[in-house]
């Protein structure tokens, strides 16, 4: 596809369960970002990948959150022992390069609801 | 550290009227500035960005913004709005250095255009 694709679009899970959220960036984009958007808030940075490596994971809230990008393309955000406070829209974005000022192209997000 | 303040959570305006959405930022270093728009059920889309040069930046759909360093502002304007401009608008900043284009977003302004 032409844009950033995120699956699933919606995910409902029970408190304490494990979830995986997937992001397919635009082909050829080396930079990939994860953000979290809570209700009534702007997106908050979670983690940035340049290629396969996590160049900046300073936004991950705690060690229950982990993300990988093993082949430098698709990325998976993993959340262990989910809590109700994890409910939010998780956004993925990609850029052609990781340079400051470059445009980030966003996916439509995955809405995670923890019940 | 950087922060972004969008003072208006909602802005109602009649079609064909002018609109200004306010954005102020705080940063200890120089920043790049962005405006993103989020239409219902769609991903964030870049409207415009300021990197350097002319402080008046023109974007898509007739929007423009002016960077004011002394007032640390980057207000978004459109001289005549259309119903289709109804959306959530986010102001964001990123640092000039460091890896990646990590964005810090404001809380957003909901623009509602009425007939």
Q: What is the pLDDT of residues B58-68, one digit of tens each?
A: 999 999 999 99
Give the one of B32, B42, B45 whose C-beta lies nearest to A100's C-beta: B32
The answer on pLDDT for B80 being more than 90 is yes
Q: Does B42 touch chain A (CB under 8 A)?
A: yes
DSSP labels, B54-110: -SEEE-GGG-EEEEETTTTEEEEEESS--GGG-EEEEEEEEESSSSS---EE---EE
Residues with Cβ within 8 Å of residue A102, at least 6 apart in sequence: A31, A95, A96, B101
Give the one of A3, A98, A108 whose C-beta lies nearest to B100's C-beta: A98
Cβ-based contacts of A98 with chain B (< 8 Å):
99-101
Kindly report which listed range (A18-27, B39-48, B76-85) carries the lowest average pLDDT score. B39-48
Mean pLDDT to the nearest integer, A69-96: 97
Which pLDDT score, from 0 to 100, does residue A42 have?
Answer: 94
State phi, psi for A95 to the nearest 5 degrees: -135, 150
Mean pLDDT to the nearest integer, A24-46: 95
**How far is residue A60 from each of residues A33, A48, A56, A86, measured CA to CA in Å?**
12, 10, 9, 12
Which pLDDT score, from 0 to 100, does residue B99 have?
Answer: 64
Q: How many CB atoms are closer than 10 A to CB B22?
A: 17
Task: Give B96→chain A minimum CA distance, Å.
Answer: 6
Residue of B nearest to A32 (CA): B100
Q: How many CB atoms are closer than 10 A to CB B23?
A: 26
Which pLDDT score, from 0 to 100, does residue B2 have?
Answer: 87
Assess contact for B90 and A29: CB atoms under 8 A: no
Residues with Cβ within 8 Å of residue B87, at least 6 apart in sequence: B37, B38, B39, B40, B110, B111
Render pLDDT for B2-60 as a digit per residue (tens, 0 to 9): 899 999 999 999 999 999 999 999 988 888 999 999 998 888 999 999 998 899 999 99
Tell me how many residue pairs between chain A and chain B have CB atoms under 8 A apart. Answer: 78
Cβ-based contacts of B107 with chain A (< 8 Å):
40-42
Which pLDDT score, from 0 to 100, does residue B97 have?
Answer: 67
Confidence category of residue A1, pLDDT binned at 50, 70, 90:
low
Q: Taking a contact as any Cβ pair under 8 Å apart, which residues of chain A between 26 and 85 contact chain B?
A: 31, 33, 35, 40-45, 48, 50, 55-56, 59
Which pLDDT score, from 0 to 100, does residue A2 have?
Answer: 80
Which pLDDT score, from 0 to 100, does residue A97 have?
Answer: 87
Best to test chain B binding among A1, A10, A32, A43 (most B CBs inside 10 Å): A43
């Amino acid at each position: 596809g032409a844009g950033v694709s995120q699956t699933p679009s919606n995910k409902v899970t029970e408190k304490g369960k494990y979830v995986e959220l997937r992001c397919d960036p635009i082909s050829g984009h080396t930079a990939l970002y994860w953000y979290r958007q809570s209700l009534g808030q702007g997106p908050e940075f979670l983690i940035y990948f340049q290629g396969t490596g996590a160049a900046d994971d300073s936004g991950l809230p705690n060690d229950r959150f982990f993300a990988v990008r093993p082949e430098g393309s698709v990325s998976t955000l993993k959340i262990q022992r989910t809590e109700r406070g994890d409910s939010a829209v998780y956004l993925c974005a990609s850029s052609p390069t990781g340079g400051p000022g470059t445009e980030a192209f966003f996916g439509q997000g995955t809405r995670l609801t923890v019940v | 550290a950087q922060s972004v303040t969008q003072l208006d959570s909602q802005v109602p305006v009649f079609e064909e009227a002018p609109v200004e959405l306010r954005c102020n930022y705080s940063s200890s270093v120089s920043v790049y500035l962005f405006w993103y728009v989020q239409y219902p059920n769609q991903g964030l889309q870049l409207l415009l960005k300021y990197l350097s040069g002319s402080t008046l930046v023109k974007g898509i759909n007739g929007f423009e913004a002016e960077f004011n360093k002394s007032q640390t502002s980057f207000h978004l304007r459109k001289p005549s709005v259309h119903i289709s401009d109804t959306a959530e608008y986010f102001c964001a900043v990123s640092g000039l250095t460091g890896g990646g284009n990590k964005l810090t977003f404001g809380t957003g302004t909901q623009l509602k255009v009425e007939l």
